[in-house]
Amino acid sequence: MKDEIINRVASSKLVTIDLEDFYPDGKRVLFDIKDWLFEGFVLREKDFRNQVAEFDWSQYQNNFVALTCSTDAIIPGWAYMLLSIQLEPYAKKIVIGTLDNLETSIYQDIINDLEISDFKDKPIIIKGCSKKPVPQNAYIMLSNKLKPLAKSIMYGEACSSVPLFKKK
């Protein structure tokens, strides 16, 4: 059978990693404290503490939360700490910043915990084109983590990958 078609990708040792597979369930929420500030700019400690105490934090159960202030107000560090202490029993993760910062932080935890010993001396493709909001930083973190072990690292799909690294 000279004309038999052989799927070389399926029979290769090539390993594909899709960061979308690691995307954790949970709503991503941007919590803006500007409405808790006097005229949107001044944090009055007593008023702020009262709002924190009276707020129903349980609505953030199993959410990922990014704390921010969308005005140019100067927010003391303790204010974000106070908010995070209230959110901690409910939220899966809390960061200060944007939703992009939150997503990057989520993936940093995932990649830090990723067991990679099975990838030793193997050619790896890090799959691109995700339907879920996988941050670009996650691809960088993953490639840097894999580099000491991998035989090679590529990006894309098996049929059209971009070579990034090859062990000498």
Per residue in 17-60, pLDDT (tens digit) is 999 999 999 999 999 999 999 888 899 999 999 999 999 999 99
**Looking up tokens 């159960």, which residue turns up?**
61
Q: Which of 23, 13, 18, 11 is nearest to 150 (CA)?
A: 13
Give me the pLDDT at residue 168, please: 87
Q: In angstroms, what CA-CA distances link 116 with 20, 104, 110, 146, 148?
A: 17, 20, 12, 7, 10
Please say if the pLDDT value at position 107 is more than 50: yes
- The ranges assigned to domains in the chain are 15-24+103-166, 28-91
Give me the pLDDT at residue 40, please: 84
Rounded to the nearest 5°, which phi and psi values hold at 83? -60, -45
For the segment 61-101, what is each residue's pLDDT rounded down to a tens digit?
999 999 999 999 999 999 999 999 999 999 999 999 999 99
- pTM of the predicted model, to two decimals? 0.86
Window from 2-6, 14-18, 25-29, 123-127 with minimum mean pLDDT: 2-6
Q: Cα(30)–Cα(82) distance, rounded to whole angstroms?
A: 16
